[in-house]
Structure 1
């Protein structure tokens, strides 16, 4: 099969019409990481009546235990279709071993460091090749952390990032037991016995997560842990990032609290930084939760238009610029 890219092998796996939307599913094989079996699924959504006029590209990154369906339901609902219908060129990435991306040979060892160092740059280059301009990036939860790691590690060039929006993403919440070395060592010993954490088994979502990612998280939250990898401090690197950044927190999100989401935003060196907390106290219709902030009926009227406004203007509406975290 002829490649859809001059960068590296890319196969167009399917091209379908889904109501008013066109859905193209690509499989990228960048060959840029030590594991040469890595293949990444990338779904493009557009309005099939406007295929000759592509809009501004937006790349969506799902969180842990998730896949493209977080953004795009089989019924054509979600932030992805909403943005496509608003005229954006929407690309939905699936991390290694998630959704339509097959499990790679070293799946159990996959880490945020791999996603940030190898996968996001490959996705960025392919989308730029197709769209001819830098994309806006939106990440939810772990997706936002991966995006922050790629920017803070300077793996993802800022010339490929028009803006970054982080929904429910933070790395500052402290888990005090993990600061006790024997507790961390014990957790590491137990986790190494498993190849993956089961999303369905833990009732966290439809996908599994590789154990390498869990071990990496333990290291971040250990006694001398930091957000980074050996030889590269991602947290410190964020201070020199200049792209426009939006951080969105949810008042009823106890997993990723608002104060921690704001702390991540404030580490960026960007001149354009915006923060909003989704809660009744700040004029929203609901106190949103971690998932509900993007997947719920209230999100369709409160949050999706907010995201669209950010993508068009790189600022919040005036009515939302005074929100503070709880």
Structure 2
């Protein structure tokens, strides 16, 4: 499936951005321009079932939104051999499944949902959140700028809840090794990648950094802290 994309910049180097569940390319509204200022042509996708990309098709949510299909979408849409690829949460899962074929020089996984089932993530909670009020979004994300709150409400309106219902039974666990040089950027006290998992990932060849005080949407909670965590990788 060809995905809808948004681009920033015209640099010689290419950076790829892959958002998390319930979101779309607008989650990167500050990161895209920041990378463009650093000489990148930045390409952000809307994953299937999100934003302006097509909905998945199939008799069940699992058929419409198989994680391998997400990965195939990235391969069909994005260029091979980018300098940098960044995936957040669900985007961390799909980037991991596509990275050997996309062959970026470096990959960054932001609070990746590699073991969402073990973390106790309940898909029905995502579905209920589709109708969240402005007050609920602000209450859950007190560090966000007003523009991020507006983006969240807009992206929820376009999101297909079946993407959440498709998740159970599809988790793949922590990767055994990085296919390319890889950085994992974690939320402070991440509920998806705990200290033992972080140590395991380091032992497997991943670099792991944490952004103090940031929640799951690290790049929106602390824009400057997130960019600082990418030092040496961008």
- Shared fold (TM-score, shorter chain, > 0.5): yes
Shift in CA distance, 251/240, structure 1 to aligned 2, threshold 3 Å: closer
C-alpha separation in 2, matches of 1:214 and 1:260: 28
Choose the corresponding residue for 1:66, options 2, 20, 23. Answer: 23
Unaligned runs of 5+ in 1: 1-37, 73-77, 179-186, 221-225, 228-234, 280-286, 312-326
Cα deviations across residues 102-145 of structure 1 (Å, max 9, x unaligned)?
324449422222101x1121123xx24xxxx4341101111111
CA contact (8 A) 1:65 1:199 kept: no
Shift in CA distance, 172/200, structure 1 to aligned 2, threshold 3 Å: closer
Which residue does 2:65 correspond to in 1?
110
The two structures, once aligned, show a CA RMSD in angstroms of 3.3
Shift in CA distance, 69/198, structure 1 to aligned 2, threshold 3 Å: farther
Runs of 4+ in 1 over 6 A off after TM superposition: none
CA contact (8 A) 1:170 1:261 kept: no
Shift in CA distance, 210/42, structure 1 to aligned 2, threshold 3 Å: same
C-alpha separation in 2, matches of 1:244 and 1:265: 13
Shift in CA distance, 85/96, structure 1 to aligned 2, threshold 3 Å: same
Cα deviations across residues 46-65 of structure 1 (Å, max 9, x unaligned)?
1xxxx4xx331110000010
Choose the corresponding residue for 2:168, options 208, 213, 218. Answer: 218
Say if 2:232 is the partner of 1:295: no
- SS at 2:105's partner residue? strand
Which residue does 1:304 correspond to in 2?
227
C-alpha separation in 2, matches of 1:136 and 1:249: 18
Shift in CA distance, 64/174, structure 1 to aligned 2, threshold 3 Å: closer
Pairwise mapping of residues 38-57 of structure 1 onto structure 2 (< 5 A)?
A: 38-46=1-9, 51=10, 54-57=11-14
Which residue does 1:29 correspond to in 2?
none
Pairwise mapping of residues 173-212 of structure 1 onto structure 2 (< 5 A)?
A: 175=118, 197=127, 199-201=129-131, 205=152, 206-207=155-156, 208-211=159-162
Say if 2:207 is the partner of 1:274: yes
Unaligned runs of 5+ in 2: 138-151
Which residue does 2:74 correspond to in 1?
120
Greater Cα offset, 84-93 or 301-310 = 301-310
Shift in CA distance, 199/146, structure 1 to aligned 2, threshold 3 Å: farther
Which residue does 2:110 correspond to in 1?
167
The structure having more radius of gyration, on CA atoms, is 1
Cα deviations across residues 178-220 of structure 1 (Å, max 9, x unaligned)?
9xxxxxxxx99xx7xxxx93653256753334425533x3214
Say if 2:148 is the partner of 1:148: no
Counting matched residue pairs gives 209
Choose the corresponding residue for 1:249, options 180, 183, 186. Answer: 186
Shift in CA distance, 266/306, structure 1 to aligned 2, threshold 3 Å: closer
Q: CA deviation at 1:147?
A: 1.3
C-alpha separation in 2, matches of 1:267 and 1:123: 33
- SS at 2:70's partner residue? helix
